[in-house]
Amino acid sequence: MGALWSFIHGEIMDGGIRTQLREHWGLCPRHAWGHAFVDIELWEQGTATRAGHLPFDAEVLHEELLGDAVGAFTRPLSRRRLLRALARKGRCRVCVGLSGSHVDRIGYAGQSSGTLTRIVDQLGFTRELICASRGTWRLGMCPSCAWPGSTDAYALGSRPLLCRHHTSELLAADGLYTSTQERIASQLKAVLTRLRRHIETGSWADPNAQADPAAAWVEALGWTAGWDPVLAIAADCG
């Protein structure tokens, strides 16, 4: 927990770490989602009626990562080079920090690490956010994450967007048509546009913003880190 807090409130802005994050496509799946959930649960200084409780840092990081992804699918890269571009390089920044011993016991803002962990574990704000925007993000979720093993998962003619990992698997096994690459680039660009709109407006409190842009961070993290945590949380939406 302490590692995620120090990450959210400092390290992420460092230029060298930013480069490492881009090369690794963000954080490992556990810490990518954990980073967003900690931000949603504990951030209380935001503007508008929601007063924070949005994954702002994760959104800003993923704005950059999605920009890289659009670039990778837009450039005429060979199959081998595209595969290399989609692979994670180096190690997860937070995993590296945690292996350094004491860091996870550090608290934040006068709260002990244990208290912060309990707040985050309840995931109340996160569940609310994910459930409210479910109707939108589920249209763009990776079918291979959502229905593992299904042969329909590679129905590439439809809107669903395979995540980075499953795109790489498909690319390694069968390659991608140029038209498929172009479609992926335009789908990623559409998510990026919605994500930017949400970052610019901070618009959860805006009645006209609705759930659409608020779903983009889920799709962005789903693409880089896979969809398992959000699917597990959404199972309780009712």
Q: Which residues are at the interface with Zn ion (CB under 5 A)?
A: 28, 31, 92, 94-95, 142, 144-145, 163, 166
User: What Rg, from alpha-carbon coordinates, does the chain have?
Assistant: 18
What sign has the CA pseudo-torsion 93, 95, 101, 103?
Answer: positive
Residue among 132 and 146 whose Cβ is closer to Zn ion: 146
Q: Which is nearer to Zn ion, 2 or 52 (CB)?
A: 2
Q: How far is the CB of 50 from Zn ion (least distance, A)?
A: 28
> From the CB of 45, what's the least distance to Zn ion, in Å?
26
CB contact set of 73 (below 8 Å; sequence gap of 6+): 82, 181, 182, 184, 185, 188
To Zn ion, the closest distance from the beta carbon of 67 in angstroms equals 20
Residue 111: what are its φ and ψ, rounded to 5°? -100, 140
Q: How far apart (Å, rounded) are the C-alpha atoms in residues 132 and 50?
A: 14
Distance between alpha carbon 170 and the CA centroid of its chain, in Å? Answer: 21
Nearer to Zn ion, 66 or 199 (CB): 66
Residues 6+ apart with CB under 8 A from 238: 131
Q: Tell me how far, at minimum, the Cβ of 23 lies from Zn ion, in Å.
A: 14
Tokens of 109: 């803002």
- Closest to Zn ion by CB, 34 vs 52, is 34
Q: Is the CB of 95 or the CB of 205 nearer to Zn ion? A: 95
CA end-to-end distance (rounded Å), the chain: 29
Shortest distance in whole angstroms from residue 204 CB to Zn ion: 27
